[in-house]
Amino acid sequence: MSLSWRTEQHDAVVVSCAGPAWRIFVPVIRPANAPAAIAPAFALVAKVAPVIKRGDPLVIEAGTEGFSISREGVAMGDAAPGGRFMVKVDDTRTPVQAIAVEAGRATLPGWSN
């Protein structure tokens, strides 16, 4: 298992394993009064309650000014705000990855509403 920063901004940690191959992204939440040097270590310990739980119905939204799209789906796992999880959409075989926003609401990776 290995840990690495997702970006130079240190906004998320990538936890990965070589065999079997998998990876997850853990968002870093810095307390407003924490010095920058200790904030990342604190964030790895802090646990945020999930806003989406497995089996919850939800809406996945993506868009920008003048454009938006949404789909209904069912969560295949739990997720805290900013956490990634898989969603079963309609009758498609392949689930889609989403990012939890709030209870019953998610967005697609790469889109911020």
Q: What is the DSSP string of 48-86?
A: PPPSB-TT-EEEEEEEETTEEEEEEEEESS-B-TT-EEE
So what's the pLDDT on residue 87?
A: 94
Is the pTM higher than 0.75? The answer reads: no
So what's the pLDDT on residue 102?
A: 92
What does the radius of gyration of the chain's CA atoms come to, in whole angstroms? 15
From the list 105, 53, 107, 40, the residue with the least C-alpha distance to 79 is: 53
So what's the pLDDT on residue 46?
A: 56
Which residues of the chain, if any, have pLDDT below 50? Answer: 42
